[in-house]
Amino acid sequence: MECPFINKNFAKCSQVLNIQNLEGAYQMCTDNYHRCPIYRKMRMAQAELVSTPLVAACSETSVKKHAYLTLSGAMK
């Protein structure tokens, strides 16, 4: 399995996922992504968003869109 964030173009992931670190990126972003501190931070942020009462009342699509915008740095 690969990290669910691998194709999301997160700037934070470029610390690990880059051509200079190709072997390390392959290992981290495939079989070991659950150990990645960036992945854990993004999953925690998603969980916090979903647990808020206002977000819980929203559709799943809008929650994912908000989480993506927040985590990608588009929303400050």
What ranges do the domains of the chain cover?
11-71
Read off the pLDDT of residues 14-66 as tens digits, 9 standing for 90 and up: 877 788 888 888 888 888 899 998 899 888 888 887 776 665 555 555 656 66
Per-residue pLDDT, 76: 41
Per-residue pLDDT, 11: 81
Closest Cα to residue 9, out of 74, 59, 75? 74
Per-residue pLDDT, 31: 84
CA distance 31 to 15: 18
Per-residue pLDDT, 55: 53
Neighbours of 36 (CB within 10 A): 19
Cβ-based burial of 52 (10 A; exposed 0-12, middle 13-18, buried ≥19): exposed
Taking a C-beta distance cutoff of 8 angstroms, is the pair 15, 38 a contact?
A: yes
Per-residue pLDDT, 45: 86
Per-residue pLDDT, 75: 44
CA distance 12 to 49: 19
